[in-house]
Amino acid sequence: MVLVADSGGSKIEWRLLRKNAPIEQAHTAGFNPYYQQPKDLHNILTSELVPKVKEPVNKVFYYGTGVSSEKNQQLIRDIFLHYFPGSTVEVHWDLLAAARALCGRSPGIACILGTGSNSCLYNGEKIVEQVANLGWILADEGSGTYVGKRLIFDYFRGNMPANLAAQFKARYPFTREEVLEKVYQQERPGAFLASFMKFIFQHLKEPYCYQLVYRAFSDFFENNVMKYNAYSNYPVHFTGSVAFYFSDLVRQVGQDKHIQVKVISEGPIAGLALYHQKDVES
């Protein structure tokens, strides 16, 4: 059996691949080694995953956040080897998950548009180039955090149309002080800012909301996709909740910039399962 995991801070999506058998799915709590202890992953595996595994596991492919350092990669490998001794365990970051899921074994530009944003140029085997990721404070163009930050700015500075501001206030009666506390003092400020994407999506026919998201996606294309040499020669793919729910607008901005957007998926796990089918046979 082959285990494939797409791990974020809030949840892990699992696929259990067996030869000549349907793909099984599992969903567990998330894990990020920068913010959680190893015991948390032990608890997830013990209580939520291992009971679902009915056959010996010979390969594990774990993709996730917080695994850029060799230390964290080894930590995760050791935990899986504790439960599946003798197996081969590979630990990779979430951008490679996006590239493999979206591009398969063909060259392309893989993009993430969710709470945050990222991109890379993939040659069909590995990531060969990446625009510098500067995080949500300095960059993350096109992401939920990026758009939410602009929305909050416009709301408190009086730049939002009055009728829309009234609806926003009725739904989110935050004071300026409460917002500043959530952004500067509480955990996961990006997720807080990105939570306003639901309001924007529900009011996307309002010119203000449409233009807000259009400009954010335009910033992403210009500062990410169009930074790669010969970008127009590659298919451009997206994964992430923002790309998925705003897919029509992603494609429109791409078309306006003469970039053909191909695959848009909500998450990479389905593509990763297809990518790793060959590992079931080997």
- How far is the CA of 270 from the CAs of 126, 267, 276, in angstroms? 19, 7, 10
Looking at the fold, whether 17 and 73 belong to one and the same domain comes out as: yes
* Res 282: pLDDT: 63
Which domain range does residue 83 map to?
2-99+269-281
* Res 188: pLDDT: 82
Q: pTM for the whole thing?
A: 0.90
Looking at the fold, whether 75 and 18 belong to one and the same domain comes out as: yes
Looking at the fold, whether 145 and 88 belong to one and the same domain comes out as: no
Q: How far, in Å, CA of 278 to CA of 282, rounded?
A: 7
Looking at the fold, whether 9 and 88 belong to one and the same domain comes out as: yes
229 found inside a domain:
no
Q: How many other C-beta atoms are found inside a 10 Å radius of the C-beta of residue 116?
A: 24
Region of residue 270 (left: phi > 0; alpha: psi -120 to 50; beta: else): alpha
What angle is formed at CA 176 by the lines to CA 171 and CA 181, rounded to 5 degrees?
100
CATH number of the structural domain spanning residue 210: 1.10.720.160
* Residue type (1 letter), 187: E
CATH number of the structural domain spanning residue 89: 3.30.420.40
pLDDT tens by residue, the chain, 282 residues? 999 999 987 789 999 999 888 999 999 988 988 888 999 999 999 999 999 898 999 999 999 988 988 999 999 999 999 999 999 999 999 999 999 999 999 999 999 999 899 999 999 999 999 999 888 889 899 999 999 999 999 999 999 999 999 999 999 999 999 999 999 999 889 889 999 999 999 999 999 999 999 999 999 999 999 999 999 999 999 999 999 999 999 999 999 999 989 999 999 999 999 999 999 876
Provide the domain count of the chain.
Answer: 2
Tell me the sheet residues that pair with 5: 14, 62
